């Protein structure tokens, strides 16, 4: 059910034909059609097929206002264009994984990127370890830079709206497995919506490096907005071919992560493999 995403060097052959499924979600946002059982069944079938054969799909008419993303990208660009010493004032560290970072690695290889991480729900409390007897907790606090001042509001508003979209997708995936729409909701009561701004600066030797190396996403769902530059590639499950994902304005790329696979078997180990 899971897929892989990657930013690959230029010398790797990548196909463009037969891209990831493109799914129109306007049904969910139209009160005149949202209660149509046949239309909903068709949408659920599309979601299920995309999860089974790809682990990825692209959605349009998703309900997230496009001006929110534009505002976020504008504020984010302003931030990443700041001098390094200014950005490092909100640098993440061992105590707090939120904020700016520019030396991240994927599978022990340094990525060619800068990131800014925040959470939709500020002040998230998490266990200090995976040991059941460990009662210590850590509180993660968003770090907001002084400049640009509009970055915080843009991040928070965008995060709330994308979180709503994620819950809608959660329900569609649950229904595609033959389960009630809200069957997975109980598992997300203490969930964390982790949001990242990725910046890929110009590289003098792009044939020798990756923006982000080959990887799988460990979360439940990744909702990715790709700009008009593009560069994302995904691995098709049916034949292992890498496919370049063409940027489509006002769309989101959905990556089904590892946690969905865990939830599926937790609910019913006998469910048909996706």
Position 272 pLDDT exceeds 60:
no
- Ranges 18-22, 40-44, 126-130, 263-267, most confident: 40-44
pLDDT band of residue 159 (cuts 50, 70, 90) is: very high
Considering the segment(s) 22-267 as one domain, its CATH architecture is Sandwich (2.60)
* Structural contact between residues 193 and 233, judged by C-beta atoms closer than 8 angstroms: no
Structure tokens of 58?
Answer: 């692209």
What pTM value is reported for the model?
A: 0.83
The pLDDT of residue 263 is: 75
Q: How confident is the model at residue 130 (pLDDT cuts 50, 70, 90)?
A: low
Alpha carbon separation from 131 to 189, 198, 218, 242 (Å, rounded)? 20, 32, 20, 39
What span, in angstroms and rounded, lies between the C-alpha atoms of 172 and 267? Answer: 16
Binned at pLDDT 50, 70 and 90, residue 241 comes out as confident
Q: Which single residue is written with the structure tokens 């048909």?
A: 272
According to DSSP, the residues that pair with 126 across neighbouring strands are 138
Classify strands 137-140 and 124-127 as parallel, antiparallel or unpaired.
antiparallel
Task: Kindly report the number of other CB atoms within 10 A of residue 60's CB atom.
Answer: 14
Mean per-residue pLDDT for 232-242?
83
pLDDT value of residue 158: 96
Query: Percent of the chain scored above 70 by pLDDT?
Result: 81
Where do the DSSP E strands lie in the chain?
Answer: 5-6, 22-24, 56-60, 99-101, 105-106, 109-110, 114-119, 124-127, 137-140, 194-199, 221-224, 233-235, 242-244, 252-256
DSSP 11: T
Q: Give yes or no for residue 1 having a pLDDT over 70.
A: no
Please check the confidence at residue 19 and state whether its pLDDT lies above 90: no
Gap between the Cα atoms of 221 and 244, Å rounded: 20
More confident: 109 or 223? 223
In the predicted model, what is the mean pLDDT of residues 243-266? 85
Question: In this structure, what are the phi and psi dihedrals at residue 221, rounded to the nearest 5 degrees?
Answer: -135, 140
């Amino acid at each position: 059910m899971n897929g892989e995403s990657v930013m690959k060097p230029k010398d790797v052959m990548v196909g463009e034909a037969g891209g990831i499924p493109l799914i129109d979600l306007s049904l969910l946002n139209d009160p005149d059609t949202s209660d149509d059982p046949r239309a909903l069944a068709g949408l659920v079938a599309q979601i299920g097929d995309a999860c089974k054969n790809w682990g990825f799909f692209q959605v349009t008419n998703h309900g997230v206002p496009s001006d929110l993303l534009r505002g976020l990208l504008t504020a984010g660009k302003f931030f990443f264009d700041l001098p390094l010493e200014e950005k490092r004032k909100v640098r993440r560290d061992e105590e707090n994984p939120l904020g700016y970072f520019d030396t991240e690695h994927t599978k022990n290889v340094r990525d060619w990127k800068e990131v800014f991480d925040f959470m939709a729900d500020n002040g998230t409390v998490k266990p200090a370890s995976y040991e059941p007897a460990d009662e210590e907790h850590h509180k993660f606090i968003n770090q907001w830079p002084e400049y640009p001042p509009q970055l915080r509001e843009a991040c928070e508003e965008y995060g709330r709206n994308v979180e709503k979209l994620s819950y809608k997708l959660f329900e569609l995936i649950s229904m595609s497995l033959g389960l009630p729409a809200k069957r997975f909701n109980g598992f997300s009561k203490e969930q964390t919506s982790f949001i990242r701004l990725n910046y890929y600066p110009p590289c003098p030797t792009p044939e020798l490096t990756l923006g982000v190396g080959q990887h799988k996403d460990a979360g439940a769902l990744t909702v990715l907005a790709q700009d008009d530059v593009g560069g994302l590639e995904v691995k098709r499950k049916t034949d292992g071919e890498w496919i370049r994902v063409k940027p489509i304005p006002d769309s989101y790329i959905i990556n089904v992560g590892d946690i969905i696979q865990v939830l599926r078997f937790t609910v019913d180990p006998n469910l048909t493999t996706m």
